[in-house]
Amino acid sequence: MFSPASVFFPAPDGLKLHVLDAGPRDGDRLPVICLPGLARTVEDFRELIRALAFSENPRRVLALDARGRGLSARDSNPENYSIPVELGDMLALLDAFAIKRAVFVGTSRGGILTMAMGAARPEAVAGAVLNDIGPVIEMAGLLRIKNYVGRMSKPADFAEAAALLRNTMDSQFPAFGPADWERYARRTWQEDEQGALELRYDPALSHTLATVNPEEPLPALWPQFDALAHAPILVIRGEHSDLLSPATVAEMRARRPNVFVLEIAGQGHAPVLTDERTIGPITDFMERCER
């Protein structure tokens, strides 16, 4: 039966962090670490976990709710919603679960953390899937995300939540139908004990974007990307992405011959990892990392 376990472990500062843990603990196949986007949770990886951990040739999968997201505890200090602190949490995850080497699947913020891991503990990265993220982050996408993270009005029900997401993100997902938007809504909000909808993340995450300014582009992360030189990389880009440009993808390929690229038609930032358009190539990529 498809039933990943919910496990909790302490961050270096004692904050309780949540992980979905699935697949064999004692196999010899490379494990996988899944890292969601800025305001996303492990729920985004359910289908991928099923494909990787509950297949004929299963491998262990650990999906981390970053602090303040999903079932991980919220931090009373929003300053701790930062790359250095979250990288420390990732290192604690590897140590807590005795993971020496793994393939990392990082969506957006999770991909930034994957590149940071390549610099901090390169021997731990056997391969990297960077889902709609690269060393250069486009300002247009950052400003769009800044406008809605922690700022959306509270919907009355999931139908209203789906409509709210569609109105906010339709330019990124023009091919989405009603069922797609409802699924996205159910992975963005959850019902509390009274049946009211609440975000699956701490609205204080908006603090991480407070300093985003179109007059001050973020520094490029080419050194962090280059730290992954030893590992195969699969770059997934949404056709309509406003965060990862075709020019950045081309530069990534030019710098590293072991970069493979997959573009997802009809989607933007960030492609959902829910069907064979993404799950099949990721599964194949895992086998390439084994070789």
- Residue 272: which of 8, 81, 74, 37 has the closest Cα? 37
Is this model's pTM higher than 0.75 or not? yes
- Residue 236: which of 132, 109, 108 has the closest Cα? 132
Inform me whether the pLDDT recorded for 2 exceeds 70: no
CB-based contacts of 186: which residues, under 8 Å, 6+ apart? 158, 161
What span, in angstroms and rounded, lies between the C-alpha atoms of 249 and 259?
9
Residue 11 within any structural domain of the chain: yes
Q: What is the pLDDT of residues 232-277, one digit of tens each?
A: 999 999 999 999 999 999 999 999 989 999 999 999 999 999 999 9
Least confident of 23-32, 134-143, 197-206, 259-268: 23-32
Please report where in the chains the tokens 């303040």 appear, as a residue.
Answer: 68
Residue 26's pLDDT is what?
85
Q: What is the mean pLDDT of the segment spanning 280-287?
A: 96
Q: What is the pLDDT of residues 86-141, one digit of tens each?
A: 999 999 999 999 999 999 999 999 999 999 999 999 999 999 999 999 999 999 99
Structural domain range at position 66: 5-138+219-290
Residue 27's pLDDT is what?
79
The β-bridge relationship of strands 32-35 and 189-191 is unpaired
Please report where in the chains the tokens 């979250």 appear, as a residue.
Answer: 86
Residue 193 within any structural domain of the chain: no
Residue 199 within any structural domain of the chain: no
Residue 275's pLDDT is what?
94
Report the CATH number that the domain containing residue 242 is assigned in CATH.
3.40.50.1820
Residue 101 within any structural domain of the chain: yes
Reported confidence tier of residue 69, pLDDT bands at 50, 70, 90 = very high
Q: What is the pLDDT of residues 37-53, one digit of tens each?
A: 999 999 999 999 999 99
Which residues in the chain belong to E strands, given as ranges? Answer: 5-10, 16-22, 32-35, 61-65, 102-107, 125-131, 189-191, 197-199, 233-238, 259-264
Residue 192 within any structural domain of the chain: no
What span, in angstroms and rounded, lies between the C-alpha atoms of 205 and 224?
23
Residue 26: strand, helix, or coil: coil
Q: What is the mean pLDDT of the segment spanning 159-171?
A: 96
143 neighbors 121 (Cβ within 8 angstroms): no
Domain total in the chain = 1
Helix (H) or strand (E) holding 85: helix 83-96
Reported confidence tier of residue 28, pLDDT bands at 50, 70, 90 = confident
- Residue 81: which of 209, 263, 232 has the closest Cα? 209
Residue 197 within any structural domain of the chain: no
What span, in angstroms and rounded, lies between the C-alpha atoms of 218 and 140?
12
Inform me whether the pLDDT recorded for 1 exceeds 60: no
Residue 249 CA, chain-centre distance (Å), reads 18
Mean of the per-residue pLDDT values of the chain: 95
Residue 143's pLDDT is what?
96
Q: Which residues of 95-104 are buried (b: 16+ CB within 10 A; e: fewer)?
A: ebbebeebbb
Please report where in the chains the tokens 């770059």 appear, as a residue.
Answer: 235
Residue 63's pLDDT is what?
98
Residue 168 within any structural domain of the chain: no
Residue 191 within any structural domain of the chain: no
- Other beta carbons within 10 angstroms of residue 3's beta carbon come to 6
